[in-house]
Amino acid sequence: MKWMKVSSYEEMSKVACSIFVKQLQYKPNSVLGFATGGSPVGFYKEMVKSYQEGEISLDQVRSFNLDEYIGIPFNSPASYYSYMVENLFRHVNIPKESYHLPDGNAIDLKEECLRYDKSIEEAGGIDIQLLGIGVNGHIAFNEPGTSFESLTNIVNLTESTRIENARYFESLEDVPTQAITMGIQSIMNAKEIVLIAFGDKKVNSIKQLRGGKITEDFPASQLLKHPNLTVIYGSEG
């Protein structure tokens, strides 16, 4: 486990990107695990820059995102699909058939969950997974109380997560009530995990993580058992 303290959001983004760049230089056909939200925006900017400067190519990469809302069109501006296209995919040379997000509009959502874990497995597993952390310790949409054994599944979003994510929608009522998320075990199956967290809002969750107590009440704590975890964190204060 590696703890890397940084002094700015930009530094966090650059450090996280440099880990992915190294991975891609070592294994150009890596399977990458991507995350959405506010934390990785700078990371994707750095990835695009590295691509434009010829440091990396994404033509052989396959990627899997952590989660997607249920019940909004995949191309709605608030979907995680749209987030990924806007922040990364449309700027780099990853083929359209190579990136994957769970399908929140699948007719059989339970089947979709099984299919998603299976397609990650068939790709050879995730080489390196990017992760954010929620103020309550959630990872992806795995809220406190989620079983550490969980695989990709359908979850009801907590009120606090819906309020937190309302900034991406016109109103709170528009925020979906459910999502498909990779489970904690699906995330733990990645060969390497990079968790990024910057800002005063994240200080307490990082403190709790550093405290070392592994409990399902704090989903991120299971990551402490991962053999190859890097936490890149910091705050203004």
List the catalytic residues: 67, 136, 138, 143
User: Binders of ligand PGA among 165-184, rule CB under 6 A?
Assistant: none
Closest distance between ligand PGA and the C-beta of residue 37, in Å? 3
How many Cα neighbours within 13 Å face the side chain of 207?
A: 8
Contact with ligand PGA (CB under 6 A) among 37, 42, 102, 219: 37
Q: Interacting stretch for ligand PGA, rule CB under 6 A, among 47-55, 80-88, 127-135, 221-229? A: 127-135
Minimum CB distance to ligand PGA smaller for 32 or for 196: 196
Place of tokens 């900034």: 167
The tokens describing 68, both together, are 């997607």
Closest distance between ligand PGA and the C-beta of residue 27, in Å? 26
Closest distance between ligand PGA and the C-beta of residue 140, in Å? 7
Enclosing H/E stretch for 206:
helix 203-211
Closest distance between ligand PGA and the C-beta of residue 141, in Å? 8
Minimum CB distance to ligand PGA smaller for 83 or for 99: 83
Minimum CB distance to ligand PGA smaller for 39 or for 50: 39
The tokens describing 78, both together, are 């608030």
| Paired residues of 233 in beta bridges | 5, 197
Contact with ligand PGA (CB under 6 A) among 4, 11, 21, 38: 38
Helices (H) and strands (E) in the chain, counts: 7, 10
CA 195 from chain center: how many Å?
A: 9
Contact with ligand PGA (CB under 6 A) among 13, 30, 39, 129: 39
Task: Kindly give the interhelix angle for 9-26 and 41-52, rounded to the nearest 10 degrees.
Answer: 50
In this structure, is the dihedral angle defined by the CA atoms of residues 56, 124, 182 and 223, taken in order, positive or negative?
A: negative
The contact set with ligand PGA (CB under 6 A) reads: 37-39, 132-134, 138
